[in-house]
Amino acid sequence: MRHNAAMLELAILGFLHDAPLHGYELRKRIAALTGHVKPVAESTLYPAIKRLEKAGLLARRTQPGAGAAPRHMLTLTAEGQAELRRRLAHPADADITDENRWFTVLAFLRHLEEPSAQAEVLERRMAFLRQPSSFFYEGDRPLRAEEVDDPFRRGILTVARATSQAELSWLRRTLDTLRAATDG
């Protein structure tokens, strides 16, 4: 289960948790979710479906094609639902640090039932965003935007800073709500 694979599989499991879908429709939904940033090829999606099927996480029933060729309606099995929750509750480190992958986790995090489990995941992201890290260093010291001469590198730091602040403030608001839900 390499880098992107985890993300793609998570998206498949997540979408199928909402409703049974066939591959082609799944493909369109994934394209809408991540396609404008990082498109997924058909020849990547179908093998991924097979992997998940082989692992018993989803089942397919062939239906006469509404439009054209026969459709393979895909349904999440009980194990599939359990696996989805496991992956959402305990994402790999790269799922927390890589924005693309993190957004995929967020897109399906509502499938975790416990607000406290959701909060735990958000807290991991918060810890990552809070640690002082840069893209450029002087020795071991992370450089701030003002200390970098190159305007393009300053841009990286400026944008990263704005993103991180916006996300931290959203995380704080959302965690407050989740904690209120747990206490109440």
Q: Does 78 bind DNA (CB under 7 A)?
A: no
* Binds a second copy by CB under 8 A, chosen from 73, 89, 92, 107: 107
Q: Find the helix packing angle between 42-54 and 23-30, rounded to 10°.
A: 120
Nearest to 46 by CA among 33, 34, 35, 30: 30
Cβ 28 to DNA shortest distance, Å:
7
Cβ 82 to a second copy shortest distance, Å:
20
**Segment 119-138, which members bind a second copy (CB under 8 A)?**
133-137
Cβ 30 to DNA shortest distance, Å:
11
Site string for DNA, 23-62 (x = CB under 7 A): xxx--------------xxxxx-xxxxxx-----------
> What, of a second copy, DNA, none, does residue 68 touch, CB below 5 to 8 Å by kind?
DNA
